[in-house]
């Protein structure tokens, strides 16, 4: 059977399946003459990857809909049942964000779990991802599900799975769950309750919210500075789930001058005021900066729809706002937390900092300066969460702070995923601390650079959509593996790492890579600059990361030169 027969057969199967509702069939009949659209929707099953599902909403096997959610949940249920009666009794916590179909997908997941005799804890409204991570441990559940597509455009939704430690499922458990999901090959294999089952369908109450906020506030280092601080803060939740918890944390800590962007305050899965609801995109700050200028605010902060990422823009003292990269915010928080805990005598005896291979190398320099162990992990906060569990099981070291360049931060261990609530609170606290010394966060950043060196980083995503795009991404990665890059910008590549083959090549030797298998290529040049290439795990994009360390007056130019040369080698362009 060729591929055309395969996707057309799957299309016809859905049309003839008695388990598929009339509205879904009507949507599919409407595309009956559009073979390209049929192919896009049915050329594969929406992949249940190591973090779960994410895709465009719509009818079809390669789309997010109630049927793909039911299938994923049935696979998860089968896996939980294999863990024993206690696992089913402990249950699964389910949260959702503000996106299209999020409440419906949340309900479907609960009903499938109940149909399998597994308890579900469902929140009474939308909640941020870090609160779900916290709730799994607080409620002593076996697993957690959050319905979200994070910062993707409105047409997307997703489904992420967490395990009992509150972190996203690590290897090999993720692969075992994926295997169970793939075994669900027919909708008739799905056991679903028609309504929530008494004794199994539980509501997660406000006590979870209260305890989460209490734990967030415990991460404060200088709470005494906050009530009297004149720092003015503009905040936008970008129509997402951060509005209630971020504002509550700031209010209860004593911040008085907090202004919320009114047009973006209420949850709205259409994200009508932004093209892309992502604080990594400076354009998402347009309304926040307008209000910041009006109020002469010291900083503006934005959280993404599921409130696990936070972006920051800082007033430079002349009414202009400087947008911080994820790395800049990360090192400001790292230096603030380590320096102030050390000064207060509250830094653990064996502190640990964790960051990702594509984040700034400055993070390691800061950690070493305070005697903290530094750990690199693969891209994805699940690996930082996994380190926290590893530390606890080994009896140390003590996790203090972790971050990734893509605007994800975590202080403390209340959550095992990035948490914009605690990050927003600490950014504002750091601003208050430095303001009490006549400084801004930008001044603090310059002091950090003067102390450790001038690092510059950049990352970019190249979108290649659809079937052809996925194939082109695979070809690019294959070409790079088959034709190793030996020189860039007149500098030799002294080390290259292939995390898919788990090989590190340096000094004419090949060594095993200790990190898990991942489709990532990483290159180090003889002057210490580096770049990294990987496909996105959540979107049809290839991502490229660059980093340099150079004198202040040369760093930006060196970074741009590196970018130009890498793109030329990879893509044959000069943009």
Judge contact between 120 and 94, C-beta under 8 A: yes
Q: What share of the chain is helix, strand, coil (3-state, %, to 5)?
A: 40, 20, 35
Averaged pLDDT for residues 276-284: 95
Averaged pLDDT for residues 21-39: 95
Averaged pLDDT for residues 4-8: 82
When mean pLDDT is compared across 51-55, 218-222, 297-301, 310-314, the lowest value belongs to 51-55
Strand spans (E) along 345-387: 351-356, 373-377
Q: How far apart are the first and last CA of the chain?
A: 42
Residues whose CB falls within 8 Å of the CB of residue 515, separated by 6 or more in sequence, listed in order: 357, 376, 377, 378, 499, 502
At 538, the pLDDT band (50, 70, 90 cuts) reads low
Tokens 């970074």 — which residue?
559
**What's the pLDDT at 363?**
98
Which helix H or strand E contains 441, and what residues bound it? helix 441-452
The pLDDT of residue 400 is above 70: yes
Judge contact between 381 and 417, C-beta under 8 A: yes
The pLDDT of residue 3 is above 60: no
The pLDDT of residue 328 is above 90: yes
Judge contact between 419 and 409, C-beta under 8 A: yes
Please give the Cα distance from 8 to 6 (Å, whole number). Answer: 6
The pLDDT of residue 268 is above 70: yes
Task: Fill in the DSSP letter of residue 401.
Answer: E
Among 480, 549, 464, 490, residue whose Cα is nearest residue 521: 480
- Catalytic positions are 150
**What's the pLDDT at 573?**
63
The pLDDT of residue 574 is above 60: no
Strand spans (E) along 397-518: 398-404, 408-411, 455-463, 487-488, 491-498, 503-506, 509-512
Distances (CA, A) of 268 to 103, 110, 126, 311: 13, 23, 11, 19
The pLDDT of residue 260 is above 60: yes
For residue 40 the two structure tokens come to 């896009």
């Amino acid at each position: 059977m060729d591929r055309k027969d395969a996707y057309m057969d799957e299309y016809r199967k859905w049309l003839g399946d008695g388990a598929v509702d009339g509205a879904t069939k009507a949507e599919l009949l409407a595309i009956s003459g559009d073979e390209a659209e049929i192919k896009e929707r049915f050329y594969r099953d929406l992949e249940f990857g190591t973090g779960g599902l994410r895709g465009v909403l719509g009818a079809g096997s390669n789309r997010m809909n109630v049927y793909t959610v039911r299938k994923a949940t049935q696979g998860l249920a089968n896996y939980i049942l294999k863990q024993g009666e206690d696992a089913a009794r402990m249950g699964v916590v389910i949260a959702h964000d503000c996106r299209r179909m999020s409440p419906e997908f949340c309900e479907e997941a609960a009903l499938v779990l109940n149909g399998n005799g597994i308890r579900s804890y469902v929140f009474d409204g939308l909640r941020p991802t870090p609160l779900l991570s916290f709730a799994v441990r607080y409620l002593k559940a076996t697993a957690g599900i959050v319905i979200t597509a994070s910062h993707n455009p409105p047409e997307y939704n997703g489904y992420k799975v967490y395990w009992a430690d509150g972190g996203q499922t690590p290897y090999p458990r993720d692969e075992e769950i994926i295997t169970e999901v793939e075994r669900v090959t027919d909708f008739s294999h799905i056991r679903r309750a028609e309504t929530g089952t008494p004794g199994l369908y539980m509501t997660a109450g406000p006590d979870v919210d209260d305890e989460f906020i209490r734990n967030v506030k415990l991460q404060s280092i200088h709470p005494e500075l906050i009530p009297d601080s004149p720092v003015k803060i503009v905040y936008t939740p970008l129509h997402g789930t951060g509005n209630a918890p971020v504002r509550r944390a700031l209010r209860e800590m004593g911040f008085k001058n907090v202004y919320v962007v009114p047009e973006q305050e209420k949850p709205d899965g259409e994200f009508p005021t932004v093209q892309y609801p992502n604080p990594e995109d400076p354009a998402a700050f347009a309304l926040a900066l307008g209000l910041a200028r009006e109020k002469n605010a010291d900083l503006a902060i934005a959280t993404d729809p599921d409130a696990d990422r936070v972006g920051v823009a800082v007033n430079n003292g002349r009414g202009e706002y400087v947008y911080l990269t994820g790395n800049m915010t990360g090192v400001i928080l790292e230096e603030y937390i380590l320096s102030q805990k050390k000064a207060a005598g509250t830094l653990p005896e064996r502190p640990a900092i964790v960051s990702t291979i594509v984040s700034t190398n400055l993070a390691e320099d800061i950690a070493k300066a305070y005697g903290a162990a530094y750990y690199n992990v693969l891209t994805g906060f699940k690996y930082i969460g996994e380190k926290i569990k590893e530390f606890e099981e080994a009896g140390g070291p003590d996790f203090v702070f972790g971050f990734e360049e893509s605007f994800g931060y975590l202080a403390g261990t209340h959550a095992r995923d990035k948490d914009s609530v605690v990050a927003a609170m600490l950014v504002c606290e750091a601003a208050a601390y430095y303001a009490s010394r006549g400084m801004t966060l930008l001044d603090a950043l310059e002091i950090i650079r003067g102390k450790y060196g001038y690092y510059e980083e950049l990352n970019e995503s190249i979108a290649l959509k659809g079937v052809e795009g996925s194939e082109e991404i695979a070809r690019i990665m294959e070409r790079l593996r088959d034709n190793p890059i030996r020189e860039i910008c007149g500098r030799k590549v002294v080390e290259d790492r292939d995390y898919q083959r788990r090989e590190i090549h340096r000094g004419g030797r090949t060594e095993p890579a200790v990190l898990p298998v991942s489709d990532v290529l990483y290159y180090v040049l003889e002057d210490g600059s580096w770049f990294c290439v990987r496909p996105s795990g959540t979107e049809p994009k290839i991502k490229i990361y660059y980093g340099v360390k150079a004198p202040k007056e040369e760093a930006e130019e060196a970074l741009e030169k590196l970018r130009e040369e890498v793109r030329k080698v990879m893509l044959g362009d000069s943009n």
